[in-house]
Amino acid sequence: MNAEVGRTRAPPAASRREEALTLSVGTRVGDVSALLLEPADARALLVFAHGAGAGMRHPFMEAVSTRLAQRGVATLRYQFPYMEGGRRRPDPPGILLATVRAAVERAAEIAAASAVGPSLPILAGGKSMGGRMTSQASGRGEIPDVKGLVFFGFPLHAADRPSSDRAAHLSDVTVPMLFLQGTRDSLADLDLLRPVCAALEGRARLHVVQGGDHSFRVRKRSGRTDNEVLDELADVTVEWAGGL
């Protein structure tokens, strides 16, 4: 993928495909909603999972997806079943992993049917919990079509309870990984995350967002805006993906 970063103007609506989809997670679980945003010049497709407390239509998910589309990266956002059903408590891990698999399988179908064809690289990841569950699916070998993982705030530990136990499975992931982390992220102590990434033998890249919290919000006194941070996240993701 040849990345072109820095484009900030949205493509005309006619030049991109926006479609509401349904994913089948299994007979015992049912269907969940998904949203495809595919620019005409798509050079990759990111399967983009939401975090524990907000669904695929959260402003952060919308903003990142829009910015990636402006830079030639399509996104497939989707709901986990608990969010689809209006429940607050996340599903058991088995159901979360099944949903990740279903979304990646649909992405492979979309890539095969796109104008670019099956050469369209598939990436996967998500915000917080969504990224962590995607990494677990990858570590188990359950999403072999994925060429790289993107974590928008990897939840290394519970809030203000530093630990690296949640990273143990990352050694089983064989594809490149991009960690996007804020310096004020209470769910990822950078003093712990840096050695985790260093131990992954070149498969991990850590990009630190100065002043960002777990949602990548920055304080006014930082001299930056949240929109500038969102642009940074999109630019870094596209640049990283271009090197795969």
Residue 9 lies in a domain: no
pLDDT at 7: 41
117 within a domain of the structure (yes/no)? yes
C-alpha–C-alpha distance, residues 231 and 227, integer Å: 6
3-state SS, 51-79, equals CCCCCCCCHHHHHHHHHHHHCCEEEEEEC
**234 inside domain:** yes
Q: Tell me how many domains the chain contains.
A: 1
Reading the chain (244 residues) residue by residue, the pLDDT tens digits are 443 333 444 555 547 789 999 999 987 889 999 999 999 989 999 999 999 999 999 999 999 999 999 999 999 999 999 999 999 999 999 999 999 999 999 999 999 887 655 578 999 999 999 999 999 999 999 999 999 999 999 999 999 899 999 999 999 999 999 999 999 999 999 999 999 999 998 999 999 999 999 999 999 999 999 999 999 999 999 999 999 8
On whether residue 30 sits in a domain, the answer given is yes
In this structure, is residue 177 part of a structural domain? Answer: yes
Which residues span the domain enclosing 57? 14-242
Find the CATH number of the domain harbouring 54.
Answer: 3.40.50.1820
For position 115, what pLDDT does the model report? Answer: 62
Query: Within a domain: residue 70?
Result: yes
In a domain, 2, yes or no: no
Residue 120 lies inside a defined structural domain of this protein: yes
- Residue 13: the pLDDT is 52
Per the listing, tokens 């269907």 go with 31
